[in-house]
């Protein structure tokens, strides 16, 4: 297989079903897309349930490769121009905002909620409710807080970014990092939980 080939990518257009795609459903209609933004499969949207108009806003010259954009009914995702999302999962109960020139490597996960209560008793109750015998409309509440990733951020393999986090412009998130709090602009962070290696990338 030619690694330099762009044959796997097609223009991302609302309502269009991609040619020769193993995942046989069309791109959602409730999205806004800039010019020259491409995708390799509509499987990216298997868990995209947003009813917002739009539920997804994509800038121009974005590449979505083997990634997942997943939302709850009121979830919203925004990705800025020239970003490259490769094998990442972005999951929004409310809102995830990603700036321009952001690169995400494989295995990256971004979530704006824990998607379950933190109290042990409530978490056990929630486990029963979301099972096949439960009533999902009766789920206990859980914390939701938007995630913001500013321009020019690099996020390495298998990093995880949790709810309520802002990552400042030009920051570098090293592979495998667990981001639980804000990252200053230009910082290089690593570890679980992540700590600053350098205050500014040289």
Rounded distance between C-alpha atoms, residue 177 and residue 195, angstroms: 9
Is residue 136, in this structure, part of any structural domain at all? no
Is residue 32, in this structure, part of any structural domain at all? yes
Rounded distance between C-alpha atoms, residue 41 and residue 16, angstroms: 11
Is residue 123, in this structure, part of any structural domain at all? no
- 114 is written with which tokens? 């824990």
Please tell me the predicted confidence (pLDDT) of residue 3: 42
Residues with a known catalytic role: 116
Q: How many domains does the chain have?
A: 1
The dihedral through the CA atoms of 174, 8, 90, 120 has a sign that is negative
| pTM for the whole structure | 0.87
Please tell me the predicted confidence (pLDDT) of residue 24: 86
Look up the domain containing 93 and give its range.
Answer: 23-110+148-198
CA proximity to 33, closest of 55, 12, 63: 12
- 119 is written with which tokens? 């109290």
Rounded distance between C-alpha atoms, residue 89 and residue 73, angstroms: 17
Distance, first Cα to last Cα, the chain: 37
Cβ-proximal residues to 46 (8 Å cutoff; 6+ apart), any chain: 23, 68, 70
**Beta-bridge mates of residue 76:** 95
Please tell me the predicted confidence (pLDDT) of residue 44: 96
Please tell me the predicted confidence (pLDDT) of residue 197: 85
Please tell me the predicted confidence (pLDDT) of residue 149: 98
Residue numbers of the chain with a pLDDT score lower than 70:
1-6, 115-142, 198-202
Is residue 140, in this structure, part of any structural domain at all? no
The CA–CA distances, whole Å, from 152 to 43, 55, 168, 187 equal: 27, 23, 9, 12
Please tell me the predicted confidence (pLDDT) of residue 51: 96
Is residue 142, in this structure, part of any structural domain at all? no
Is residue 99, in this structure, part of any structural domain at all? yes
| CATH code of the domain covering residue 59 | 2.160.10.10
Please tell me the predicted confidence (pLDDT) of residue 144: 87
Is residue 103, in this structure, part of any structural domain at all? yes
CA proximity to 152, closest of 138, 167, 170: 170
Is residue 35, in this structure, part of any structural domain at all? yes
């Amino acid at each position: 297989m030619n690694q330099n080939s762009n044959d796997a990518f097609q223009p991302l257009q609302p309502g269009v079903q991609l040619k020769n795609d193993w995942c046989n459903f069309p791109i959602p209609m409730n999205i806004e897309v800039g010019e020259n933004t491409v995708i390799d499969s509509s499987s990216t949207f298997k868990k995209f349930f947003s009813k917002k108009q739009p539920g997804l806003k994509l800038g121009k010259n974005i590449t979505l490769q083997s990634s997942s954009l997943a939302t709850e009914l009121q979830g919203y995702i925004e990705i800025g121009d020239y970003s490259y999302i490769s094998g990442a999962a972005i999951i929004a109960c409310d809102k995830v905002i990603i700036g321009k020139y952001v690169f995400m490597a494989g295995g990256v996960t971004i979530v704006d909620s824990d998607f379950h209560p933190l109290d042990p008793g409530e978490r056990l109750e929630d486990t029963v409710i979301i099972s096949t015998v439960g009533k999902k409309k009766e789920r206990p509440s859980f914390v939701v807080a938007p995630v913001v990733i500013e321009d020019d951020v690099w996020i390495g393999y298998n990093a995880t970014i949790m709810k309520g986090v802002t990552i400042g412009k030009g920051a570098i998130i090293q592979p495998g990092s667990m981001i639980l709090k804000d990252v200053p602009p230009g910082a290089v962070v690593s570890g679980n939980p992540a700590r600053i290696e350098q205050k500014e990338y040289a």
